[in-house]
Amino acid sequence: MTELGFYILPFIMFLTTFLILRNSPDARNLSLSYISIFFLWTAYILVLVRSGILSELDLPPRIPLLVVIPAILIILFLTSREIMKAALKNTPPSTVIYMQSFRIVVELLIYGAYLNNVFPKIATFEGINYDIVVGITALIVGFLTQKQIIGKKIIALWNIASLCILTVTVYSFISTYYFTDYASTTENFEFLQLPYVFLASILLPYAIFLHVASIRQVVQLSEKVPS
């Protein structure tokens, strides 16, 4: 069931992104570009997995260099385009924040994978992974934003704090696999294979994308959202 969840959730996030894209004046072209990029990226990840490059746990760390950093660069580029800025401008800020609640499910999947000996305990909410807090507070912050109870400063602070928590989460994985003897003591390397590799290659980038999108909205809508 956990393994299936790592297939289903990325697909759900792929679909929910259209809640933002549909608000662009040129929604058709933006959507087509998004679909193309998503499938090209997925194909790239499949090639990496198939080649076995990601299975090499010596330094430099392959997943951060070949997956995480390129994903961040793509996100920054895409969200800087005028066509995407227009979509964000026409999207309620609460929508983008609510979408971060998917991280509750992510953390439950990570915990399920831990129970199946795929991920180490330190990478769950029983370790130093507190990302589930972001998912829970997304529902609260989204509601308060929707009701205009909080304004741009609180939204910005929440995004910054959430990115810090996400950084700790990423560190918990990287440090365990690349800077401890965990990899040499475990016989289970499923975390480097499908579907678990989608955690770093698809689910993590979606979380980053939503934060970047929300921060850009704060900048764009500063005059509309009360301080």
Residues 20-25 have a mean pLDDT of 95
Alpha-carbon span 153 to 224, nearest angstrom: 12
Residues 172-198 have a mean pLDDT of 75
- Per-residue DSSP letters for 41-105? HHHHHHHHHHHTGGG--SSSPHHIIIIIHHHHHHHHHHHHSHHHHHHHHTS-HHHHHHHTTHHHH
Whole-model pTM over 0.75? yes
Question: What is the model's pLDDT at position 180?
Answer: 65
Question: What is the model's pLDDT at position 184?
Answer: 59
pLDDT-derived band at 84, boundaries 50, 70, 90: very high
Alpha-carbon span 20 to 79, nearest angstrom: 12
Element (H, E) at 25: none
Question: What is the model's pLDDT at position 148?
Answer: 93
Residues 91-105 have a mean pLDDT of 97
Residues 163-168 have a mean pLDDT of 95
- DSSP three-state, residue 19: helix
Residues 91-102 have a mean pLDDT of 98
- The rounded percent of the chain whose pLDDT value lies above 70 is 93
The angle that helices 27-51 and 69-80 make with each other, rounded to 10 degrees, is 170
Question: What is the model's pLDDT at position 133?
Answer: 97
- Contact status, residue 186 vs residue 56, Cβ threshold 8 Å: no
Question: What is the model's pLDDT at position 60?
Answer: 84
The dihedrals phi and psi of 119, each to the nearest 5 degrees, come to -110, 155
The three-state (H, E, C) secondary structure of 74-85, written as one string: HHHHHHHCHHHH
Question: What is the model's pLDDT at position 179?
Answer: 63
Residues 163-170 have a mean pLDDT of 94
| pLDDT tens, residue by residue, 206-218 | 999 999 999 999 9
215 burial (CB, 10 Å; 0-12 / 13-18 / 19+) is: middle
Q: Show the tokens assigned to 90.
A: 């026409």
> How many beta carbons lie within 10 A of that of residue 18, not counting itself?
14
Q: Is the pLDDT of residue 227 over 80?
A: no
